[in-house]
Amino acid sequence: MNIQMKQHYKDEFEYVRRSTKRHSKSFYFSTQLLPADRRNATYALYGFCRYADNIVDNPRSRSQDELMYELDALRAELETAYRTGESEHPVLGPFIVAANEYDIPKQYPLDLIEGVRMDLLHTRYETFEELELFCYRVASTVGLMMTHVLGYNTNEAFGYAKELGTAMQLTNILRDVKEDKDRGRIYLPLAELDANGIRESDILHERFTPAMDAYMRTKTEEAHQYFEKANTGIAMLKRESRFAIYAASNIYRGILYKIEDAGYNPFPERVYVSGKQKVAIMLREYLMTKFRPEPGRVSPLMPRNAL
- Determine the pLDDT at residue 303: 52
Choose the final residue of a domain: 101, 121, 141: 121
Each residue of 225-271: pLDDT tens digit? 999 999 999 999 999 899 999 998 999 999 999 999 999 999 999 99
Count CB-CB contacts under 10 A for residue 175. Answer: 20
* Range from 68-72, 160-164, 257-261, 269-273 carrying the lowest mean pLDDT: 269-273
Same domain, 129 and 71: no
Q: Is the pLDDT of residue 31 over 90?
A: no
- Determine the pLDDT at residue 296: 47
Assign residue 30 the CATH number of its domain: 1.10.600.10
Q: Are 190 and 125 in contact (CB under 8 A)?
A: yes
Each residue of 84-118: pLDDT tens digit? 999 999 999 999 999 999 999 999 999 999 999 99
Cα 128 to Cα 77, 187, 192, 193, distances in angstroms: 32, 9, 8, 11
Structural domain that includes position 99: 1-121
228 Cβ contact list (under 8 Å, min separation 6) = none
Q: How far apart are the first and last CA of the chain?
A: 37
Give how many domains the chain has, as a whole number: 2
CA geometry: angle 245, 96, 143, nearest 5 deg: 20
Q: Could you give the angle at which helices 36-57 and 141-150 cross, rounded to 10 degrees?
A: 160
Same domain, 154 and 299: yes
- Determine the pLDDT at residue 26: 67
Cα 295 to Cα 162, 240, 289, 302, distances in angstroms: 21, 11, 10, 20
Same domain, 76 and 219: no
